[in-house]
Amino acid sequence: MASSKIALPSAVLVLRLLTLTLLLGSLVLILVDKFHVSDDEAILLDVPAKEITFKDVYAYRYVLAIAVAGCVYTLLQTPFAAVSIARRKTRIGGSEGVALLLICVDVVFALLIATGAAAGYGYTGDAKCNADYTYRSWERFAAATGSLIPPEVTQLNTDISRFFVLAFFSAGLMLLAAACMALVIMISVYALVRR
């Protein structure tokens, strides 16, 4: 019977640790995601030469902020599950009121994490479509004129594609973290109504 008492808090603890790992992965990916527009590419495309990072895209700033907030929240919540396991309590937080409050805050953070993932996916999908369309325009122009696409354009397209792939992965990890939070909520509600 003792092991069944700690089964739910143990599951919550594992899911919280998984959520933390996924959010940290999302955070690292969005932080290292960048590409550089070289001087040759800048002259050819009539754009400024600079390094593009998450700081240049508001949606990616939001993804970063939500990942940081989610990590902090998960770190603060993890001890509650550990204490419940140590005390062999089925309900995390002790009393019904505290457990209900923790569930409500979990819902808020699950929604925030989901919006971070949606912002990352939404912007990345639209921007990648626009970048791909622009590159296809270069291909059509080169085919129509019998010329070659400048290597600077091909290199920039490769760099931009890599930038967007990392952003997609970051948003995907954040979406998985939101799913883990949803499981935490379901387990917590089950433990609350089971009594």
Domain-located, residue 72: yes
Percent of all residues in the chain with a pLDDT value above 70, rounded to a whole number: 90
Of the chain, the end-to-end C-alpha distance in Å amounts to 15
Domain-located, residue 109: yes
Domain-located, residue 12: yes
Q: What is the pTM of this model?
A: 0.86
Parent domain of 92: 2-190
d(CA 161, CA 132): 9
* pLDDT confidence of residue 1: 43
> Of 158, 191, 159, 147, nearest to 15 (Cα)?
191
Could you report the per-residue pLDDT of 50-93, keeping only the tens digit for each? 888 888 889 999 999 999 999 999 998 888 777 777 766 666 66
Burial 3-42 (b: 16+ CB within 10 A, else e): eebbebbbbbbebbebbbbbbbbbbebbeebebebeeebe
Tokens 């490769």 belong to residue: 158
Contact 90, 191 (CB under 8 A): yes
Domain-located, residue 99: yes
Could you report the per-residue pLDDT of 118-148, keeping only the tens digit for each? 999 999 999 999 888 888 888 888 888 888 8
d(CA 11, CA 31): 30
Average pLDDT of the chain is 86
Domain-located, residue 195: no
> Of 25, 118, 13, nearest to 71 (Cα)?
25
Total domains present in the chain: 1
